[in-house]
Amino acid sequence: MAQLDTLDIVVLVALLLASVAYFTKGTYWAVRKDPYASSYANGSASKAGKSRDILETMDKSGKNCVVFYGSQTGTAEDYASRLAKEGSSRFGLKTMVADLEEYDYDNLDKFPDDKVAMFVLATYGEGEPTDNAVDFYEFITGQDVSFSEGGGAEEKPLSTFKYVAFGLGNNTYEHYNSMVRNVNKALEKLGGSRIGAAGEGDDGAGTMEEDFLSWKEPMWSALTQSMELEEREAVYEPAFEVTEKPDMDAEDDMVYLGEPNKNHLEGASRGPYNAHNPYIAPIVESSEIFKVENRNCLHMEIDIGGSNLTYTTGDHVAVWPTNAGKEVDRFLNVLGLASKRHMVIAVKGLDPTAKVPFPSPTTYDAAVRYHMEICAPVSRQFVSMIAQFAPNESIKAEMTKIGSEKAYFVEKVSSQHLNIAQLLEILGKGEKWTAIPFSLWIEGIHKIQPRYYSISSSSFVQKDRVSVTAIVESVEIPGAPHVVKGVTTNYLLALKQKQHGDPHPDPHGLDYAITGPRNKYDGIHVPVHIRHSNFKLPSDPSTPIIMVGPGTGVAPFRAFVQERAAQAKAGENVGKTMLFFGCRKKMEDFIYENEWEEYKEALGDKFELVVAFSRDGPQKVYVQHKLKEHAEEVNNLLQQKGFFYVCGDAANMAREVNTVLAQIIATQRGIPESKGEEIVKAMRASNQYQEDVWS
């Protein structure tokens, strides 16, 4: 038998660690987290081989500032890169961004005092760290934290450690910004010196961006003093080198034309399919389920048979969108790139710490169409950043004003719901913005995000097909020059139109490239993956359930009721199944009206549907009003250990339902309202009350 030499063992261990890390991250891992890390770059093996020693990494790459982030859905990661970028362009710092998970912290006691560490930390759960920050958090707040030189907390081991800190949170949570607060406390206790105040951004008040902007200015002045930096006219330093390859043909089979990774480029895509590697799934059926002209709600059946993807009732399906041709054209036009949209470009990080967010070589068209979130709201800081590349001085002055004055930004940009290309089109008055380096677009525009949909079918009934119930987003702002058209839902609408015989579906002139890169999605296919959730039916079908789901919030409840109807048909003892559904008008958006009748036949009086039509009568009637009318029954079912579920709009409906339920419990049981609230809280903690909400 061949002997394994040391190198083989190192490689094997690295591969093993990499695959363990990969599988244990689970599907809840940050959506925004580098979808290409494992599938496109040279793989996890090289990543695992990378040093976990932050001091060594900084020394080797000549950095004096590291920006660590703890992020779940990418906001903190984004802020971290903005800080790094600004530190470098305005103050000449040698910055790098680092995922907290990728380093060890026991040598922070050797962190030299001419360097600085920045922390950008989101809070999750009940005041908990994000997944990627768990190890760091446990280490730094641990009772018996010990460093390389053996110093415990009393010896102030971090006396040379300079840091700055910003937290991301939401004041509607009980443990507001506890991550940054606790980390700051721990670092102070260990002797670290914080530069400037520890900032706190609040999603709840909708002031995250402004909180960040107003925190960082005083922080930068304190840091300039402490590190004797000199501020300079911000010089843009590209993070990526973008090389045009005029001698390469876009049809060359090495060129990515929107394929999400190498696997897809090389032809037959292979599993396992997950958040890094979508399955190109056939849409086997699609239909319009509203009966009204100006609004659309889609029901789609997506076939996952043969993919090895599995789901259980209550899970989510993620749809990987493609930008509308209309917006891709606008974007390329305003940058003056339209004529060379199919030019092959190679993109590489100019620095080992800069990760290219999409596979290369590619083309301008493919990068913009498939990988960049070009339709999203614009950030004020990004406006400031591109001002220097404006086509002329007067446009530059206007751009600078928009970037620096909050109220003016609201007036000109956010209240109009403009995307970046729409803004540049308006300000440029026909001038093209040709001076903006493409690297700045790669850095400043987010990676396009898969959108999640609550699966509206039961895995017990149809294990190989997931149903989606989606309202097509179309938001008209009075006085604004454009209607906001949701990226993904209008793409799905185009797919539905194609399936129904329109050879060139083009809803509202959006013109999606629905056959995908190299026609790989032809025949009505859509890239998807499945995300498992904890939103689940009770394991015992005889347990009563109460579901509250107005609008598209009914999606997972169609799945629940479908499942229980099938169980009843199979002779199982099914418990009371009560659904509160609300919509605008019975004749317009009462979705699945006929199906409920079928389920009723199977379930008999075990099934009770209560409807609230908000716009059919003189007064608004909502699900929570109906809940109150059925207070006694609701309370009885809960006392029989029934489960309570809410799905849909997080901002208002879900909160109001929570409040009403607490009132119902209090009145029915003759206890104070505060006790009712405590009971609801306890129900949440024990999973008797479950939410699947989105905003």
Ligand X SMILES: *[C@@H]1O[C@H](CO)[C@@H](O)[C@H](O)[C@H]1NC(C)=O
Ligand Y SMILES: Cc1cc2nc3c(=O)[nH]c(=O)nc-3n(C[C@H](O)[C@H](O)[C@H](O)COP(=O)(O)OP(=O)(O)OC[C@H]3O[C@@H](n4cnc5c(N)ncnc54)[C@H](O)[C@@H]3O)c2cc1C
Ligand Z SMILES: NC(=O)c1ccc[n+]([C@@H]2O[C@H](COP(=O)([O-])OP(=O)(O)OC[C@H]3O[C@@H](n4cnc5c(N)ncnc54)[C@H](OP(=O)(O)O)[C@@H]3O)[C@@H](O)[C@H]2O)c1
Ligand U SMILES: Cc1cc2nc3c(=O)[nH]c(=O)nc-3n(C[C@H](O)[C@H](O)[C@H](O)COP(=O)(O)O)c2cc1C
Residues that are catalytic: 454, 647, 692, 694
Identify the residue among 311, 320, 453, 581 touching ligand Y (CB under 6 A). 453
CA-wise closest residue to 420 among 477, 366, 473, 482? 482
Among residue numbers 564 through 603, which ones bind ligand Y (CB under 6 A)? none
* Shortest spacing between CB 42 and ligand X, in angstroms: 4
Q: Is 648 in the site for ligand Z (CB under 6 A)?
A: yes
Among residue numbers 271 through 290, which ones bind ligand X (CB under 6 A)? 271
Q: Is 484 in the site for ligand Y (CB under 6 A)?
A: yes
Q: Is 152 in the site for ligand X (CB under 6 A)?
A: no
Q: In 3-state terms, what secondary structure has residue 511?
A: coil
Torsion of CA 161, 92, 353, 7, to 10 degrees: -70
Determine the interface stretch with ligand Z among 392-400, 493-501, 580-588, 594-602 (rule: CB under 6 A). Answer: 580-588
Do 239 and 350 form a contact (C-beta atoms < 8 A)? yes
Q: Is 325 annotated as a binding residue?
A: no
Identify the residue among 128, 285, 301, 473 touching ligand Y (CB under 6 A). 473
Residue number with the smallest Cβ distance to ligand Z: 551
HEC states along 198-264? CEEEECCCCCHHHHHHHHHHHHHHHHHHHHCCCCCCCCCCCCEEEEECCCCCCCCCCCCCCCCCHHH
Q: Is 649 in the site for ligand Y (CB under 6 A)?
A: no
Q: Is 614 in the site for ligand Z (CB under 6 A)?
A: yes
Cα–Cα distance, 666 to 670 (Å, whole number): 6
Token code pair at residue 252 = 């060359």
Identify the residue among 650, 659, 677, 678 touching ligand X (CB under 6 A). 650
Identify the residue among 148, 308, 534, 674 touching ligand X (CB under 6 A). 308
Among residue numbers 48 through 77, which ones bind ligand U (CB under 6 A)? 71-77
Q: Is 695 in the site for ligand X (CB under 6 A)?
A: yes
Q: Is 41 in the site for ligand X (CB under 6 A)?
A: yes
Cα–Cα distance, 174 to 168 (Å, whole number): 14
Question: Residue with structure tokens 């901002």?
Answer: 651
* Shortest spacing between CB 185 and ligand X, in angstroms: 24
Q: Is 203 in the site for ligand X (CB under 6 A)?
A: yes
| Alpha-carbon separation of residue 215 from 66, 157, 161, 194, 197 (angstroms) | 18, 28, 21, 14, 8
Cα–Cα distance, 245 to 222 (Å, whole number): 45
- Angle subtended by helix axes 380-387 and 208-227, to nearest 10: 50
For residue 678, the tally of other CB atoms under 10 A from its CB is 15
CB environment 561-583: b (16+ within 10 A), e (fewer): bbbbbbbbeeeeebbbbbbbbbb
Q: Is 75 annotated as a binding residue?
A: yes
Q: In 3-state terms, what secondary structure has residue 547?
A: strand
Among residue numbers 466 through 505, which ones bind ligand Z (CB under 6 A)? 471, 473
Q: Is 392 in the site for ligand X (CB under 6 A)?
A: yes
x/- mask, ligand Y, residues 230-249, rule CB under 6 A, reads --------------------
Q: Which uninterrupted H or E stretch holds 128?
A: strand 128-129
Cα–Cα distance, 106 to 471 (Å, whole number): 50
Chain residues binding ligand Y by CB under 6 A are: 316, 321, 375-377, 417-419, 451-454, 469-471, 473, 475, 484, 486-489, 552, 555, 694
Annotated binding residues for NADP(+), as ranges?
295, 552, 614-615, 620-624, 656
Annotated binding residues, as ranges?
71-76, 122-125, 168-177, 203, 295, 451-454, 469-471, 486-489, 552, 614-615, 620-624, 656, 694
Chain residues binding ligand U by CB under 6 A are: 71-77, 122-127, 130, 168-170, 173, 175-177, 203
Chain residues binding ligand Z by CB under 6 A are: 471, 473, 550-552, 582-584, 589, 614-615, 620, 622-624, 648-649, 651-653, 656, 695
